[in-house]
Structure 1
């Protein structure tokens, strides 16, 4: 592994950190979970666990090493491993949760990263930052969403601490209902991205087009169905949802192999395959 951990968003994914959803619960902390709560729905834990096991199996079948957290009964959203921070080439950025029910995850994930020998190269303490808002656009350019869970204060902290590594950081402002940037924007291959034009600023769309990225469009309604929450494995492979038929067909037209999983129960909490995955090594 050396001293290079994650160098982009679409290289070959070699190792990931996940957390089983043994204690997952619905809370009114995003528009998706709020809707299910209004309907009086409770999560089927056994079904959530089965879906997560299928995600783990998909990774293993595609040569990705899976490291698992030990689920904590007090950390009911811990399954969304992406959000505690972000991994870059030099180490990882430790985020800061906005929602109180998630703040306990920070210490748990910090301890796990220490155990794995991955250094913390930046830590957000004044603002709020979650990993669902973080993307590599290219080798040196980072896009960070300013939506519901990440703010400008945090981006300032990250810029200051990563300055020595010479990354260019682009804030991407969207409406709060979109929750995280990985709900309305997703790079699936170096020059292919899934986007919700309704949700994203025109300036960001123009940045992508200027980089020669082909854009697959989804609607605002599809954002809340997690149709943009895909997980690139590199080498022309991506994890998607079986229900995401239109996007999956378009991905295949670009020569991308789609691993479509039947995930629907965990989605009710407001997160999909990308939200559940923290990349540890991507080369």
Structure 2
């Protein structure tokens, strides 16, 4: 029987890979962290640990197996497990970090994926591609954002490697200050997404409209509060931030069960629950 890993963006989540925020620190590599640094802020690691533990508890209470990568002291953004690559049904794609302070993470995560028995099916060897820019739109259609951390060279490198498997890869360009595509677009259910719609390029807006997506739209200010950065659990269940009041109500109005994460401290470094989560198995 063929082993399948991640078949879609919205199937039932069975296993995830996380990394605790043991050595998390504010690093001026995105607009959110830069703004907090400009205010003279620092990170409270005890609060970060409590927030991360709540995320783990939500997963476990929903039957999701949580795998943990041991944090490395020199890698202060390692909590954002999403970014080293992305997973498909055949195996995972190893991306390539843009920021030098994150590049060593790749080998740590790759070693963990070998330990978990997940094969690598493509490796970004030119340009840059990070997992926060990735979305699987359907069985054979993938989207990769071109914002601050992924570029067309990297996307083309991955596109060529995935073509023999029948995948087509769309590029979705937006402003660098939004960091990753998952900060302005997030699929949370079958043909349902939360988005800062005006931040998407016209061609992608048209794709979503023609595909019949139900879009929950946020204002631009919400991008920097992680209001798009949700994590789908499958079966119309989703993790969102407790502060994401309007979106959470819109989700409940659509029949979703919302698990509210009380996170404010980790967010200062530029990522939310989606950024912290690498799906290993999703039916």
For the aligned pair, the TM-score class normalised by the smaller chain equals over 0.9
SS in 2 for 1:28: coil
Cα shift at 1:198: 2.1
> What is the alpha-carbon distance in structure 2 between the residues aligned to residue 46 and residue 242 of structure 1?
19
What is the CA deviation profile of residues 239-264 of structure 1, one whole-angstrom value per residue up to 9, with x for unaligned ones? 00000000000001110110011111
State the match for 2:91 in structure 1.
91
Q: In the alignment, does 2:265 pair up with 1:282?
A: no
- Structure 1 outlier segments of 4+, above 4 Å: none
> What is the alpha-carbon distance in structure 2 between the residues aligned to residue 159 and residue 260 of structure 1?
36
SS in 2 for 1:4: coil
TM-score (norm 2): 0.99
Alignment of 1:223-238 (within 5 A): 223-238=223-238
Alignment gaps of 5+ in structure 1: none
> What is the alpha-carbon distance in structure 1 between the residues aligned to residue 220 and residue 43 of structure 2?
24
> What is the alpha-carbon distance in structure 2 between the residues aligned to residue 53 and residue 59 of structure 1?
10
State the match for 1:178 in structure 2.
178
What is the CA deviation profile of residues 169-192 of structure 1, one whole-angstrom value per residue up to 9, with x for unaligned ones? 110000000100000000000121
State the match for 1:111 in structure 2.
111
State the match for 1:143 in structure 2.
143
State the match for 1:251 in structure 2.
251
> What is the alpha-carbon distance in structure 1 between the residues aligned to residue 191 and residue 160 of structure 2?
29
> What is the alpha-carbon distance in structure 2 between the residues aligned to residue 281 and residue 208 of structure 1?
26
What is the CA deviation profile of residues 174-216 of structure 1, one whole-angstrom value per residue up to 9, with x for unaligned ones? 0000100000000000121011122111211111111111011
SS in 1 for 2:154: helix
TM-score (norm 1): 0.99
RMSD (Å), alpha carbons: 0.8
> What is the alpha-carbon distance in structure 2 between the residues aligned to residue 45 and residue 54 of structure 1?
14
Alignment of 1:1-283 (within 5 A): 2-283=2-283
> What is the alpha-carbon distance in structure 2 between the residues aligned to residue 108 and residue 6 of structure 1?
21
SS in 2 for 1:198: helix
Cα shift at 1:126: 1.1
